[in-house]
C-alpha cells in the first residue's frame, strides 16, 4: 500500500491553487488504479482540510450502509461526509484549486502545510500544523501509545 509520508510546506496562490508535494503526487498516481482522484473535505475534529484518495474515501463512506437509510444517524453522517466533500483533479503541474469553504475552514492564507497521515493527508495553516504535530507527539508519549509488535515485520523480513 502506498502511504502519504512527511510534512511539506507550500504556497497558496491568488487563485486558490496549491501544488501537491511531489511525494504525495506519486502516491496518488500509484493509487489511480484503485479508483481515481482525490476528495477534499473539512476535518471533523481539526481546523484543517483532509485529502482522501477516492477509493479510500469510498471505503470509509461504505460504512454508512450499516446504518438505517432513514435514520437521523445516517442523515447526519452522510451530510458530514458528503455535503462538504469536493472531488478535485490535479492539473498537469500537480496543482489543485482549494475550494473557498475549505480554505476558510482551515484558516489558510498564503502558506500551507501538507501533513502525511498514511492512507490520507491533511492541509494545515503552518503554525497550526506545528502545534498539531507537537500535541500529537506529546499525547502519544503521555498515554504510552504504541503499536502491537505483531503488526511489524521481523527484522530482516521483507515488508
Tell me, what CATH number does 110's domain have? Answer: 3.40.1550.20
Higher-scoring residue by pLDDT: 141, 40: 40
Q: What is the number of structural domains in the chain?
A: 1
Specify if 90 maps to a domain.
yes
pTM for the whole structure = 0.86
- The per-residue pLDDT for range 18-62, each reduced to its tens digit, is 999 999 999 988 887 554 689 999 998 999 999 999 988 988 888
The answer to whether residue 147 is domain-embedded is: no
Query: What is the β-pairing status of strands 111-116 and 121-124?
Result: antiparallel
Residue 127 lies in a domain: yes
Residue 105 belongs to a domain: yes
The model's pLDDT over 82-97, given as tens digits with 9 standing for 90+, comes to: 999 999 999 888 999 9
Please check whether residue 135 lies inside any domain of the structure: yes
**Domain for residue 153, yes or no?**
no
**5 vs 71, 110, 158, CA distance in Å?**
37, 22, 20
Please indicate, yes or no, if residue 1 is contained in any of the structural domains. Answer: no
- What domain range is 43 assigned to? 7-140
Read off the pLDDT band of 151 (50, 70, 90).
Answer: low
Residue 52 covered by a domain:
yes
Give CA 55 to chain center in angstroms. Answer: 13
Query: Binning pLDDT at 50, 70 and 90, where does residue 159 land?
Result: low
Amino acid at each position: 500500500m502506498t502511504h502519504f509520508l512527511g510534512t511539506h510546506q507550500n504556497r497558496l496562490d491568488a487563485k486558490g491553487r496549491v501544488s501537491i508535494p511531489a511525494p504525495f503526487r506519486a502516491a496518488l498516481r500509484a493509487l489511480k488504479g484503485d479508483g481515481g482522484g482525490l476528495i477534499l473535505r473539512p476535518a471533523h475534529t481539526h481546523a484543517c482540510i483532509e485529502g482522501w484518495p477516492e477509493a479510500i474515501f469510498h471505503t470509509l463512506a461504505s460504512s454508512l450502509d450499516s446504518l438505517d437509510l432513514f435514520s437521523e444517524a445516517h442523515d447526519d453522517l452522510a451530510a458530514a461526509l458528503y455535503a462538504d466533500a469536493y472531488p478535485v483533479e490535479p492539473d498537469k503541474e500537480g496543482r489543485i484549486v482549494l475550494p473557498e469553504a475549505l480554505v476558510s475552514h482551515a484558516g489558510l492564507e498564503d502558506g500551507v502545510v501538507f501533513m502525511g497521515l498514511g492512507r490520507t493527508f491533511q492541509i494545515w495553516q503552518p503554525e497550526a500544523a506545528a502545534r498539531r504535530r507537537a500535541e500529537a507527539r506529546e499525547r502519544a508519549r503521555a498515554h504510552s501509545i504504541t503499536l502491537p509488535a505483531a503488526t511489524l515485520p521481523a527484522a530482516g523480513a521483507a515488508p
